[in-house]
Amino acid sequence: MKKRLFVTGLSGFVGQHIQSRLASPDSSWELLPAAAPYDLTDPDSLLDLWPQLPDAVIHLAGQTFVPQAFRDPAGTLEINLLGTLNLLQALKARGFQGTFLYVSSGDVYGQVGENHLPITEQQPPCPRNPYAVSKLSAEFLSLQWGLSEGWPVLVARPFNHIGSGQKDSFVIASAARQICRIKQGLQAPQLEVGDIDVTRDFLDVGDVISAYLALLEKGTPGQVYNICSGHEQSIRSLIEQLGDLAEVEMQLVQDPARMRRADQRRVCGSHARLAKTTGWAPEITTQQSLRAILSDWEMRVRQE
């Protein structure tokens, strides 16, 4: 008998991959659809959302784009914090007693000195943008709810993830789209980039989803878990690998509009707690990820 899983944010990048994963016959979870369209910022739309109670909830939905959070901090807090509160209250009203996994972000750690890498869950959060503030606030809210209601509540802090289907507002997706446009003769062999001489801890979206499902099965309630590869890679190196895989010669051109505030030079996380608790380990190589991303963008560019 499969367990019922309700996931917010199914239309997003990660949500679409979760749908594909749970459609597999060997999945131990079945996706519980919402009874009607809903908006997390509208509490009334969350009433009567679950004809059947889910055994677990993964709360993915949110405003995830940092530049947008700087433009509209109030809107970001309304979606990410108050939207989470509305969801928790609706679940409580329905009698939910299952596992609640709140998907936060490694961005909550903020500026971390190189002497404190890799980042563990012991690192005090120090958010440096409104998006990270909204995620950390919703973490505390979710954990408090677990204490007050007796629910098993866990928090995941995924670091950067990549994969097919991602919007080109994210750096690797943007580079892949431009490379495919160059290859198809739709733009000059110049790639517009931001600050690419920084390192980040990238993980394939498939491994991220495996971590979420592992936490639902084996995670310790009340705990926070980093989800990351444990390795840092420069954005420049990933873009160069994309170019090599696509066999495209190009010049990298820095675009001032793509430069971000509050950025740090190096990011590397530790997934030791996650691995120890659940046995999870990354399985998808960077090369596999980049090939899938290029293949996806080749089709999308042809359809543009």
CA dist 92 and 84 (Å) reads 12
CA dist 29 and 7 (Å) reads 11
Chunked into runs of 10 residues, the chain (304 residues) has average pLDDT values of: 96 96 95 96 96 97 92 98 98 97 97 96 96 98 97 98 93 95 95 89 98 98 98 96 96 79 80 98 98 98 94
CA dist 56 and 18 (Å) reads 14
pLDDT of residue 193: 86
Instruction: Please report which residue ranges of the chain form alpha helices under DSSP H.
Output: 13-22, 66-71, 73-77, 83-94, 130-149, 171-183, 205-218, 235-246, 272-278, 286-303
pLDDT of residue 262: 42
Query: Is the Cβ–Cβ distance between 57 and 92 less than 8 Å?
Result: no
Can you read off the two tokens belonging to residue 119?
A: 């980042």
Say if strands 3-8 and 56-59 run parallel, antiparallel, or are unpaired. parallel
Assign 3-state DSSP to the chain and report helix, strand, coil percentages, each to 5. 45, 15, 40
Angstrom CA distances, 277 to 22, 211, 221, 235, stand at 23, 11, 11, 30
pLDDT of residue 260: 63
Q: Is the pTM for the entire model greater than 0.85?
A: yes
